[in-house]
């Protein structure tokens, strides 16, 4: 389901009501619903979060079936994982026992699961009703081949979703060798990459939570604390606000020059750069926000200059995000600001050592990377990060990361970027 203009009017109102204002009004005292711990004055932000409906999942399957026909595929095979949840709502742990779903180009979705799990499996089914089982001494892949015959798929091409494990795909192929097998990406990626209004609302909630958790935790920084101390604080706050904390990468001082940190433990000192890269999930949808501040002292001239340059680079990337332009344009615009200031070139250090952004949704990193060479055109409903790190090894690094979603009027932020080094929130 694509996002219509009227949906974005509602989303704009949501952002105005629950964006930065919601994240920070949570710190007011006297609220009716509070959480404990370090975030003991934070309200739950997820009270009114609306899960993805069965009807929306049915629409997703219908879109997949249209794409199957366009791509001349007879069916799409799903294994346990994100795409299984996306299309069916079924959460199922991976194991050596195959549990798959088959979306045919025509007809109803079909399921295969171990016989002794059938009762538990059926409790999760909200779409379709056909469940084929296999006993411990039987082949699940023979069952899949039988389903193909039942669906009158005797020749043609089967799409395999990218997370289907090799042994599952290989087992199916051996039992139905007359069929051709190919990547299901042309079906799954156009479905999952374009977010509906309902998905964007859940991602907005997740971003509200993460930004509020980072702000509250930054207010509680103490000299001598470890990076893990701060990580735990932010994770706890995200949980207490109603999210499902996913990660909180916290880097101090020289470690901030390494995008994913160093193995050596760091303790906080006055004047240190503090980089916080954090995210949570709301109803299965991710946030991803990074803030960089200086602890306990005015910034040095170098820190201030790099901070300002990073802000300029992020703004350039945002301005370059236009429907119909390639994803690489966002990277080119942000990177040009950094290289024109004498850093790089390209991915060389000191400078920006990684892509400017990544797609985001049910997975923290999805398709739609903002990177040189990605000719994918930016479309309405795409969601992605803009995070052009400036890394100066031996000194420090600065990264701002905010995620945006595409509307008919251009990109909109899920979280408003930092105003200044003195007003990072």
Rounded CA gap, 330 and 266, in Å? 33
159: which 2 tokens?
A: 């799409």
Strand ranges for 123-238 from DSSP E: 130-134, 157-160, 180-183
The predicted pLDDT at position 41 comes to: 53
The predicted pLDDT at position 43 comes to: 73
The predicted pLDDT at position 3 comes to: 42
319: which 2 tokens?
A: 């301005």
CA 354 to chain centroid, in Å, comes to 17
pTM exceeds 0.85 for this model:
yes
317: which 2 tokens?
A: 């990337």
Phi, psi of 389 (to 5 degrees): -50, 145
DSSP, res 246 = E
Name which of 207, 215, 216, 219 is nearest 243 in CA terms. 207
Name which of 362, 382, 366, 364 is nearest 84 in CA terms. 362
Q: Please, what is the Cα angle at 385 between 288 and 322, to 5 degrees?
A: 150
Over its C-alpha atoms, the chain yields an Rg (Å, rounded) of 23
Long-range Cβ pairs for the range 364-369 (8 Å, 24+): 364/246, 364/247, 364/279, 364/286, 364/288, 366/192, 366/193, 367/189, 367/192, 367/193, 368/193, 368/327, 369/327
Decide: 379 and 404 in contact? Cβ < 8 Å. Answer: no
326: which 2 tokens?
A: 């390639």
Q: At what angle do helices 54-70 and 185-193 cross, to 10 degrees?
A: 140
Q: Which residues pair with 285 in a beta bridge?
A: 282
**CA distances in angstroms from 136 to 97, 133, 148, 172, 409, listed in the order given:** 9, 10, 21, 17, 55
For 335, residues 6+ apart whose C-beta sits below 8 A from its C-beta are: 313, 344, 346, 352, 356, 372, 388
Q: Please, what is the Cα angle at 147 between 146 and 151, to 5 degrees?
A: 120
Rounded CA gap, 252 and 395, in Å? 11
Q: Which residues pair with 160 in a beta bridge?
A: 77, 183
First CA to last CA across the chain, in angstroms? Answer: 34
Strand ranges for 170-210 from DSSP E: 180-183
The predicted pLDDT at position 13 comes to: 39
33: which 2 tokens?
A: 């619903």
User: Tens-digit pLDDT profile for the chain (425 aa)?
Assistant: 334 433 433 444 344 333 333 322 222 222 333 434 444 556 789 989 999 999 999 999 999 999 999 999 999 999 999 999 999 999 999 999 999 999 999 999 999 999 999 999 999 999 999 999 999 999 999 999 999 999 999 999 999 999 999 999 999 999 999 999 999 999 999 999 999 999 999 999 999 999 999 999 999 999 999 999 999 999 999 999 999 999 999 999 999 999 999 988 899 999 999 999 999 999 999 999 999 999 999 999 999 999 999 999 999 999 999 999 999 999 999 999 999 999 999 999 999 999 999 999 999 999 999 999 999 999 999 999 999 999 999 999 999 999 999 999 999 999 999 999 889 99
Instruction: Report the SS3 class of residue 5.
Output: helix
Instruction: Report the SS3 class of residue 104.
Output: strand
The predicted pLDDT at position 44 comes to: 86
Rounded CA gap, 382 and 2, in Å? 10
315: which 2 tokens?
A: 């703004």
């Amino acid at each position: 389901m694509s996002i219509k203009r009227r949906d974005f009017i509602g989303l704009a109102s949501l952002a105005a009501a629950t964006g930065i204002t919601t994240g920070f009004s949570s710190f007011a005292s006297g609220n009716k619903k509070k959480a404990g711990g370090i975030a003991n004055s934070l309200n739950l932000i997820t009270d009114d979060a609306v899960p993805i409906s069965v009807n929306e999942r049915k629409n997703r399957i219908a879109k997949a079936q249209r794409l199957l026909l366009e791509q001349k595929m007879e069916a799409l095979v799903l294994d346990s994982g994100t795409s299984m949840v996306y299309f069916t709502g079924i959460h199922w742990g991976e194991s050596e026992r195959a549990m798959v779903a088959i979306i045919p180009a025509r007809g109803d979705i079909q399921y295969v699961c171990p016989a002794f799990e059938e009762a538990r499996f059926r409790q999760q089914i909200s779409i379709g009703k056909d469940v084929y089982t296999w006993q411990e001494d039987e082949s699940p892949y023979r069952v899949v081949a039988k389903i193909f015959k039942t669906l009158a798929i005797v020749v043609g091409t089967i799409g395999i979703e990218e997370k289907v494990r090799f042994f599952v795909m290989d087992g199916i192929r051996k039992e139905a060798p007359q069929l051709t097998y190919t990547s299901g990406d042309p079906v799954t990626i156009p479905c999952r990459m374009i977010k509906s209004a309902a998905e964007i609302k859940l991602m907005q909630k997740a971003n509200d939570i993460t930004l509020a958790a980072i702000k509250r935790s930054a207010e509680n920084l103490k000299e001598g604390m470890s990076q893990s101390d701060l990580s735990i604080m932010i994770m706890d706050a995200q949980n207490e606000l109603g999210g499902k904390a996913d990660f909180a990468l916290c880097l101090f001082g020289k470690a901030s020059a390494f995008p994913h940190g160093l193995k050596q433990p760091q303790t906080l000192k006055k004047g240190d750069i503090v980089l916080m890269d954090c995210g949570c999930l709301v109803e299965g949808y991710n946030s991803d926000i990074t803030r960089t501040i200086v602890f306990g002292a005015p910034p040095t001239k170098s820190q201030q200059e790099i901070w300002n340059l990073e802000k300029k680079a992020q703004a350039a990337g945002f301005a370059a995000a236009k429907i119909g332009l390639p994803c690489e344009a966002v990277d080119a615009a942000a990177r040009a600001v950094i290289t024109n200031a004498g850093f790089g070139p390209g991915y060389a250090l000191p400078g920006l050592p990684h892509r400017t952004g990544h797609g985001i949704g049910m997975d923290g990193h999805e398709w739609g990377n903002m990177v040189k060479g990605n000719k994918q055109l930016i479309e309405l409903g795409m969601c992605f990060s803009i995070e052009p790190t400036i890394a100066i090894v031996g000194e420090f690094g600065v990264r701002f990361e905010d995620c945006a979603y595409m509307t008919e009027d251009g990109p909109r932020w899920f979280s408003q970027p930092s105003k200044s080094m003195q007003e990072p929130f």
